[in-house]
């Protein structure tokens, strides 16, 4: 019997709002001293009333629209009742029967194979406080209590750990494009539970699932699913397949899952409408206004970059990784256009965009990664970067000196033109000067010239090396090579 895994995800995303969901406390749970961003409302004191932060709704609607969900004009907040030390009111304000949005999808792509993952719903709810276990004691930090979450529930459409990981990575990218969440799994602002069961291929029924909690990295999502597939497959093979729904925890250090409890059904939470909040009404105008604010998303951007800048899909993907990178690229291209004629740009477009793409994603990325910076923080303006590229394009500097120029620009933010002048970096393209240099090399290396002539052709590299050294790196290597080849024929 061949089995396949049936996997669904439940994801909590911390929304990036100024204040918490139902009070005015600041929503910076990790950047403030423990228990400093709290008030009677988020501490769940009796007699306090929640009032909904509209920015939470706006962020959630944008995310829902980007995930192709339908926004419900009416949704209802409900209390999800349970006891936990980090939940001071004894209930979470969530949405249950009437969520903010339903019925969406996201397409993921794996080696050019596209899979459409259905999204059942996206609703909003407040987060609990954070328990910390220190030296055998448990401490609670209430800064996180009442911060806003969007909960996304997918359909069980994943068939492999890789697909689940790709979905999460794409979701993270979209959250960042929209600037609605940092979606950093390691920091806990993107948290994921996995639902997984196995079934014989061809079967359409769903079998009791296992829910895996506490996954806080892409790697642990992948590893936990891999482990569960193995564990459940073995059970099926022994004819002991899971008969009831269970919750398991993932133990990162051992890369295994462990039984925590038999799952509570949703009626165990005794959901009922939150009496202190009105139903949430979302107007068509609001949806329209927010949809205009949604930027071009990665998939569209990649397509446009391929056609507009004649890049490969892979190049376009790298440049579209973040909005900051893609803007830097596009701003550089448009600055470059001001440095040459329109006619020349049209004729040499591919050469130019490849050059800009190449220097951003190799040399500039190297410098940025070394300093652990974001491209939006660097000192080089797109205008100066375009000017720098134009010097390479026009052969004013060769690529080894170009690297030195870029480093100086990166360190000091200075004008590449000034750097080239001050350091005398400009390339020697003058043939008569290079001919003299070639002759000098030939005269001074008689033995090597003989060897070259008798067939040891890789000595050409040696001659060019001397030329570069003699000219302090300024000789145009292609021209000098041609001259040498002609002279040594
Ligand atoms: Zn508060
Ligand atoms: Mn939830």
For ion ligand 2, residues whose CB falls within 5 Å: 151
Q: Per-residue DSSP letters for 87-137?
A: -TTSEEEEE-SS-SEEEEEEEEEETTEEEEEEEEEEEEEE---EEEEETTE
Q: Which ligand lies nearest to the CA atom of residue 127 in the structure?
A: 2
Ligand 1 center–CA 144 separation, angstroms: 10
Ligand 1 center–CA 98 separation, angstroms: 26
At residue 122 the predicted structure's pLDDT band, cuts being 50, 70 and 90, is very high
Ligand 2 center–CA 127 separation, angstroms: 8
Can you give the pLDDT at residue 248? 92
Neighbours of 165 (CB within 10 A): 20
Give me the mean pLDDT over the 363-377 stretch: 95
Give me the mean pLDDT over the 266-285 stretch: 92
Ligand 2 center–CA 305 separation, angstroms: 37
High-pLDDT (> 70) share of the chain, %:
99
Q: Per-residue DSSP letters for 310-371?
A: ---HHHHHHHTSSHHHHHHHHHHHHHHHTTS-HHHHHHHHHHHHHHHHHHIIIIIHHHHHHT
Residue 214 has pLDDT above 80, yes or no: no
| CB of 60 closer than 8 Å to CB of 122 | yes
Residue 266 has pLDDT above 70, yes or no: no
Percent helix, strand, coil in the chain (nearest 5)? 45, 20, 35
Give me the mean pLDDT over the 138-164 stretch: 96
DSSP state of 26: B
Residues listed for the chain: 489
Q: Which domains does the chain have, with CATH numbers?
A: 3-292 (no CATH), 296-399 (no CATH), 431-487 (1.10.10.410)
Residue 263 has pLDDT above 80, yes or no: no
Ligand 2 center–CA 125 separation, angstroms: 7
Q: What is the pTM of this model?
A: 0.89
Neighbours of 431 (CB within 10 A): 14
Number of H-type helices and E-type strands within the chain: 16, 16
Tell me how far CA of residue 64 lies from CA of 106, 257, 276, in angstroms.
11, 31, 25
Ligand 1 center–CA 285 separation, angstroms: 30
| CB of 143 closer than 8 Å to CB of 29 | yes
CA neighbor of 218 nearest in space, from 172, 260, 257, 249: 172
């Amino acid at each position: 019997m061949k089995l396949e895994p049936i996997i669904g995800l439940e994801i909590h995303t911390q929304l990036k709002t100024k204040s918490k969901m139902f009070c005015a406390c600041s929503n910076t749970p990790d950047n403030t001293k423990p228990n400093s961003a709290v008030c009677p409302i988020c501490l769940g004191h009796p007699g306090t009333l929640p009032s909904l932060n509209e920015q939470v709704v706006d962020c959630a609607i944008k995310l829902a629209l980007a995930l192709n969900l339908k926004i419900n004009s009416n949704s209802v907040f409900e209390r999800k009742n349970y006891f936990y030390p980090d939940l001071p009111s004894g209930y979470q304000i969530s949405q249950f029967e009437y969520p903010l949005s339903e019925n969406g999808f996201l397409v993921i792509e794996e080696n050019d194979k596209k899979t459409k993952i259905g999204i059942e719903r996206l609703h909003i709810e407040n987060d609990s406080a954070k328990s910390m276990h220190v030296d055998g004691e448990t401490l609670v930090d209430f800064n996180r209590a009442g911060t806003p979450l969007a909960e996304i529930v997918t359909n069980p459409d994943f068939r492999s750990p890789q697909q689940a990981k790709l979905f999460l990575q794409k979701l993270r990218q979209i959250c960042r494009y929209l600037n609605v969440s940092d979606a950093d799994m390691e920091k806990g602002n993107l948290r994921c539970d996995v639902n997984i069961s196995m079934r014989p291929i061809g079967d359409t029924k769903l079998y009791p699932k296992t829910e895996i909690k506490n996954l806080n990295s892409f790697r642990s999502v992948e590893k936990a699913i891999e482990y569960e597939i193995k564990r459940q497959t073995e059970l099926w093979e022994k004819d002991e397949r899971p008969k009831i729904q269970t919750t398991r925890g993932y133990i990162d250090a051992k890369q295994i899952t462990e039984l925590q409890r038999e799952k509570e059904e949703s009626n165990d939470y005794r959901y009922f409408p939150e009496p202190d909040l009105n139903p949430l009404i979302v107007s068509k105008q609001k949806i329209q206004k927010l949809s205009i604010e949604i930027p071009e998303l990665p998939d569209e951007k990649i397509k446009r970059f391929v056609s507009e800048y004649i890049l490969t899909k892979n190049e376009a993907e790298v440049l579209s990784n973040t909005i900051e990178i893609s803007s830097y690229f596009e701003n550089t291209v448009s600055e470059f256009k001001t440095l040459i004629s329109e006619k020349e740009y049209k004729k040499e477009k591919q050469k130019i965009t490849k050059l800009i793409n190449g220097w951003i994603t190799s040399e500039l990325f190297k410098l940025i990664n070394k300093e652990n910076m974001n491209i939006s923080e660097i000192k080089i303006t797109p205008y100066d970067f375009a000017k720098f590229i134009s010097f390479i394009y026009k052969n004013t500097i060769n690529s080894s000196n170009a690297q030195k120029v870029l480093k100086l620009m990166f360190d000091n933010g200075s004008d590449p033109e000034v750097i080239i002048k001050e350091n005398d970096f400009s390339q020697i393209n003058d043939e008569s000067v290079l001919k003299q240099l070639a002759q000098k090399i030939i005269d001074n290396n008689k033995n090597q010239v003989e060897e070259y002539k008798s067939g040891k052709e890789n000595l050409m590299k040696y001659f060019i090396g001397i030329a570069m050294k003699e000219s302090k790196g300024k000789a145009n290597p292609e021209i000098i090579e041609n001259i040498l080849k002609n002279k040594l024929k």
